[in-house]
Structure 1
Amino acid sequence: MFALMYSYKIVYMFIAFKAKKNNKPEVQNDNPYKYAVIVAARNEELVIGQLIKSIKNQKYPKELIDIFVIADNCTDNTALVAMQEGAIVRERFNKDQVGKGYALDEMFKIIEKEYSSRKYDGYFVFDADNLLDENYIAEMNKTFNRGYRVITSYRKSKNYDQNWISAGYALWFLHEAEYLNLPRMVLNSSCAISGTGFLVHTDLIKENGGWIHHLLTEDIEFSVSQIIKGEKIGYCKSAMFYDEQPITFRQSWNQRLRWAKGFYQVFAKYGKDLVGGIFKGKRNRLSCFDMTMTIMPVLLVSCISLVTNGLFYLAGFLGLFEGKEIIDVTTSAMLRSVGGYYVLLFLVGFITTLTEWGEIHCSGWKKIAYTITFPLFMFTYLPIAIVALFKDVEWKPIAHTVVKSIDDVR
């Protein structure tokens, strides 16, 4: 049943192949909009300067871009560095309302109160460790001209080559961009934002009353809430940015534990409306189904499978069945299952690596090696999903230390 429910993603891959083959550059539109770039930063003095430089180096009218930084509970020189680089900076100190969503909401309110006369058409949202390709805003502006009020972009990595953990993240984000969001655009369905590197229309923020999403995964909560309302989130594949991925398993565990818990929260809060949209929605049934499959705690099914097989092992050891026979059958079934999942995930990583080869900045042998380790990275979601079900999870900052300019990354 679950294989059938997720088989549509195989169709997505074929659609992506065709779209890539018939790729045509987006028609230039001469209507440049005015944007505010918002960065929520916590103790990011090492990297935020390079982000601001990459924004200032955009091939887009300088007078149409303002940079705002909300230094959130910082204990370092993030605010000072951002001001020295030319950003408009506000500091926020609140130990009760912790998280990116609260910081964004405060900055939206500051802009509305103090800078409303500048009449921004849209807000870009980035993390402090990001770097923008020089054509990023110009390319996003083209898609904005097509009428999309929320747009996500093509996500690359500053540190793909550091180890199998950073590569695992980066390869998944490439797959998400080109094999999930691209086919969604082709099908006129809704994409989903993923943490950073997105654009939101000013009117939408006003309609929502600011940034009102404060679950552990505020990005997917925002996406789901907009899809339920009938909004279609766009994707601009020609707008490219880089971000930094965790490199230690402890960092990765904490971050993905928050993501897993956040997905449970979003499913609990919005699952009923999403499922209802599949049957009652007029224009966004596919989007509702797609997002239901995205946030559904499918990893729990794998966990239940493991528990079930464990019970069969226990029954065999206790002699409730023909002990050796049931143990042999169960072992064989589990090995086939794990092997099948490995092959499937390897193919996902291998195909993505081949088609995005030129966008992965590391040596050829590492690209191949990290394709082999990609399924292992994905397998580690299983224990994370189990722990997230029972553990109270709080947002924890991840230190960013990869100090590179856009030219360094290239």
Structure 2
Amino acid sequence: MTIWIRNFNFLILLLFSVCYLYQIVFVFIRLFSKRKHYDADKLHKFAVVISARNEGTVIGELLDSIHRQNYPSNLIDIYVVADNCTDDTARVAREHRAIVYERFDHIQVGKGYALNYLFSKIDTKVGLEAYDGYMVFDADNVLDENYVAEMNKVFGSGYSVVTSYRNSKNYGSNWISAGYALWFLRESKYLNGARMQCGTSCAISGTGFLVSNEIIRENNGWKHHLLTEDIEFSTDSIIQGRIIGYCEDAILYDEQPIRFKESWNQRLRWAKGFYQVLGNYGGRLMRGMATKHSFQCYDMMMTLAPATLLTMVTLVINGVFGTAGLLLGHLSWVEMTIEAIIGNLVGIYISLFFFGLVTTITEWKQIHCSGRKKILYMFSFPIFIFTYVPIAIAALFKKVTWVPIRHTVVKSVQEIRG
């Protein structure tokens, strides 16, 4: 039996290594290759679209940051859908010079439905073709003053979808907000950044992205309505062979949860949404891998694959081996399984710490909190990721609906940077 235990854990380690080794390669690609820079072919006209639910506290700062852009104001129109709001979101948005539509629909709930409603209003008002592209933000975001100008450069280079660099308004609040923020920094720098340099497709991540009017018109608005509409859109685009671009110089700041209950609910929705996308699109991703030898299909499959769930299954199976050894009096089985469980956890912690360490070092100036906290949260980052394991399990069995996250951090870019 000890041979079975050893072989089982070796195969699991080999499986993880084979599946995710490319992400370590991505790190070295970013560290040692020169990043390409883009120049604007022309100044495109954009519409900013924002879905907001009870965001009267924070939406004004986002709108002000858009008005402060180093880009001609006549080429940026701002649209807000106040979605099922019970506060003054609509009034605040209008006071900050946005075109506002109010939506009340308690059946079709979620950002995807709200965006589709907003696109239908834009189409009726001026026609979807009135804009070259649409920038999508969440109400808690604020933008660097060069955000639109930098996105325009990459968009003009032929990318019909462009995502941006995602930073945090409240990195230093606690280990939870830092866990989110460090993950998004790593995703921006060492996943999307490396993908961009390799010429493969990036993936959008919730907020801060640009979509061409051709795609919106082709889709007749926004057609993606699963719990993670961003990942669904990315997956659908990749299956169609579309290359999503990335603009590292377009910097966006958003607010991360600081309470574990809110974090649990948000990540439970994300986990359930990933399962939905995998169930709906997994077969087509596999066909893309098999028939087209598509790396971007493989990359997206690894993004969707429930690695946290496999980790828990591995720990449970080792626990079964150990319990059987204890009941049957085979202490060598128990020792072997304890050693395997500890080894697995330590190995995962070290790999996550590596990503957190590299990201913290290279993005040190972009992380806006004290040096002590930057160092401390490198060590808590793997623990934050470990909390995904019970969330991934709960998402398998629990019915999950969209629940809004409360946002309260009101800061300008200058205040964030200190």
Counterpart CA distance in 2 for 1:66 and 1:263 is 32
2:285 partner SS: helix
Counterpart CA distance in 2 for 1:117 and 1:15 is 38
Find the counterpart in structure 1 of residue 11 from structure 2.
Answer: none
Deviations 1:149-191 (A, max 9, x none): 0000000000000000000000000000010001111111000
Unmatched tracts of structure 1, length 5 or more: none
Deviations 1:81-103 (A, max 9, x none): 00001000000000000000000
How is 1:11-30 mapped onto 2 (pairs within 5 angstroms)? 11-19=25-33, 22-23=34-35, 26-30=37-41
Q: Could you tell me how far 1:118 is from its partner in structure 2?
A: 7.5
Find the counterpart in structure 1 of residue 158 from structure 2.
Answer: 147
1:9 aligns with 2:23: yes
Counterpart CA distance in 2 for 1:165 and 1:79 is 30
Q: Could you tell me how far 1:29 is from its partner in structure 2?
A: 2.0
Q: Could you tell me how far 1:10 is from its partner in structure 2?
A: 1.1
Residue of 346, 349, 368 corresponding to 2:356:
349
1:318 partner SS: helix
1:251 aligns with 2:262: yes
1:290 partner SS: helix
Residue of 71, 75, 88 corresponding to 1:64:
75
Unmatched tracts of structure 2, length 5 or more: 1-14
Q: Could you tell me how far 1:27 is from its partner in structure 2?
A: 4.0
RMSD (CA atoms): 1.1
Question: TM-score scaled to structure 1, two decimals?
Answer: 0.96
Counterpart CA distance in 1 for 2:39 and 2:350 is 42
Contact 2:228 2:274 in 1 (8 A): yes
Find the counterpart in structure 2 of residue 106 from structure 1.
Answer: 117
Residue of 317, 326, 339 corresponding to 1:317:
326
Counterpart CA distance in 1 for 2:128 and 2:221 is 18
Find the counterpart in structure 1 of residue 187 from structure 2.
Answer: 176
Amino acid paired to 1:18: F
Find the counterpart in structure 1 of residue 416 from structure 2.
Answer: 409
Counterpart CA distance in 1 for 2:368 and 2:387 is 25
Counterpart CA distance in 2 for 1:32 and 1:237 is 19
After superposition, the Cα gap between the structure-2 partners of 1:193 and 1:118, relative to the gap in structure 1 and judged at 3 Å, is closer
Counterpart CA distance in 1 for 2:26 and 2:395 is 29
1:231 partner SS: coil
Find the counterpart in structure 2 of residue 384 from structure 1.
Answer: 391
Find the counterpart in structure 2 of residue 287 from structure 1.
Answer: 296
Question: TM-score scaled to structure 2, two decimals?
Answer: 0.95
Q: Could you tell me how far 1:397 is from its partner in structure 2?
A: 0.3
Counterpart CA distance in 2 for 1:405 and 1:187 is 34
Amino acid paired to 1:264: Y
Counterpart CA distance in 2 for 1:2 and 1:343 is 14
1:230 aligns with 2:241: yes
Q: Aligned pair count?
A: 403
Counterpart CA distance in 1 for 2:340 and 2:306 is 23
Find the counterpart in structure 2 of residue 97 from structure 1.
Answer: 108
Of 289-298 and 34-43, deviating more is 289-298
Amino acid paired to 1:308: I
Find the counterpart in structure 2 of residue 370 from structure 1.
Answer: 377
| Percentage of matched positions with identical amino acids | 57
Deviations 1:273-331 (A, max 9, x none): 0011012127xx01101001110122221121122012112212321xx4322111111
Find the counterpart in structure 2 of residue 121 from structure 1.
Answer: 132
Of 158-167 and 116-125, deviating more is 116-125
2:369 partner SS: coil
1:39 aligns with 2:46: no
Find the counterpart in structure 2 of residue 161 from structure 1.
Answer: 172
Q: Could you tell me how far 1:246 is from its partner in structure 2?
A: 0.3
How is 1:181-220 mapped onto 2 (pairs within 5 angstroms)? 181-220=192-231
Counterpart CA distance in 2 for 1:155 and 1:177 is 6
Counterpart CA distance in 2 for 1:313 and 1:333 is 10
Find the counterpart in structure 1 of residue 309 from structure 2.
Answer: 300
Contact 2:40 2:154 in 1 (8 A): no
Counterpart CA distance in 2 for 1:247 and 1:119 is 40
Contact 2:227 2:402 in 1 (8 A): yes
Contact 2:39 2:154 in 1 (8 A): no
